[in-house]
Structure 1
Amino acid sequence: MRRNFTQLYVHLVWATWDRLPLITPTICSQIYSVMTYECQQLKCTVVAVGGVEDHVHLLTSFPANVSISRLVKQVKGSVSHCVTRQHQAPKFFKWQGSYAAFTVNHRDLNPIAVYIHNQREHHQHQTTISNWEIPIKEHP
């Protein structure tokens, strides 16, 4: 019996509410762990996860039966729940409603993964790649 074969990758980026620096060092690793766990629940394989204080990047494969919007909704929702309920953050924690999604060729996985893993350095030295980021200001 033959099975369908898909090789689908997406680079996702989303920001905190009003680009506030809500992703503190104390909750950063937990956020990335929850993101990875939720991807696994949807049968997605995380290639890279990273970010800075006001946004995150996620590079993952995804099966054909999972929409990008469902993936983002589940990951963002679970992270918000974890941060607000389990960590009881002193400030509110909220994501912006939108996100950016970029399709990725499997040959480009490594450079994008390296870029994601080095987010702090890219933002500190202003060497970000605008095509792989989201606009600074989202609200009118």
Structure 2
Amino acid sequence: MVIGRPRRQPVFSVPVRIYAHLSWTCWARLPLIDEPVSAFLQPFLLAEAKRHGARIIEIGIVPNHVHLLLELPPAYDVPRLVQGLKGASARLANRDGHARNESLRWDAGYDLRSVGLKQLPHVANYIRHQELKHGSPKPRVPNQPFRAGVVAEPPLQGTDKPTTTSSG
């Protein structure tokens, strides 16, 4: 006969990794991103994502839109991240003179799609080749810093640790 409560046993234990493809467009899909704006956006978006606890795996910037492949923490406020990425980038690009010809403005909304582990290489490749797809005159050289897996930041803290759920 067993007296007292039964011990809780872990049901599963898996690392938690959430990947997403985020994209948004310039106002009216106008080509508002020139080379100085793109040069500003790349490091800014990396830093802003990190500040919000996310990690950019790949980045693709063309004259009228931006693509990011992100790793997100398990519990995450996506609208706040997007507000930081879009709002702050336009505000600072305009304030600091990076947008010389026309003010950088973003269209309302964004597209966010989850990405499975097996899809990561395909989505990273798609984002990496945005310049070629859209006929940008300067395609990115493969050894430039925004290659998948090379983007500056290690995996998010705690994402390699198992998450344990107990039953009972």
Rg larger in 1 or in 2?
2
More helix by percentage:
1
1:137 — aligned with what?
Answer: none
Q: Provide structure 1 residue ranges, at least 5 long, that are not aligned to the other structure.
A: 126-140
1:6 — aligned with what?
Answer: 16
1:1-140 to structure 2, matched below 5 A, reads 5-87=15-97, 89-90=99-100, 91-124=102-135
CA distance in 2, matches of 1:75, 1:46: 11
Q: Work out whether residues 55 and 71 of structure 2, in 8 Å CA contact, stay in contact via their aligned partners in 1.
A: yes
| Count of residues paired in the alignment | 123
Q: Work out whether residues 10 and 101 of structure 1, in 8 Å CA contact, stay in contact via their aligned partners in 2.
A: yes
Letter in 2 for 1:119: Q
Q: Work out whether residues 36 and 98 of structure 2, in 8 Å CA contact, stay in contact via their aligned partners in 1.
A: no
Q: CA RMSD in A?
A: 1.9
CA distance in 1, matches of 2:69, 2:98: 28
After alignment, is 42-51 or 63-72 more displaced?
Answer: 63-72
More strand by percentage:
2
CA distance in 1, matches of 2:128, 2:109: 22
Letter in 1 for 2:114: T
SS in 2 for 1:94: coil
SS in 1 for 2:99: coil
Could you tell me how far 1:5 is from its partner in structure 2? 4.6
TM-score by length of 2: 0.67
Map Cα deviations across residues 49-95 of structure 1 (whole Å, 9 max, x no partner).
11210000011111133222111111111211221111253312110
Q: Work out whether residues 37 and 98 of structure 2, in 8 Å CA contact, stay in contact via their aligned partners in 1.
A: no
Q: Provide structure 2 residue ranges, at least 5 long, that are not aligned to the other structure.
A: 1-12, 137-168
CA distance in 2, matches of 1:86, 1:23: 15
SS in 1 for 2:134: helix
SS in 2 for 1:72: helix
CA distance in 2, matches of 1:75, 1:85: 15
CA distance in 2, matches of 1:95, 1:9: 23
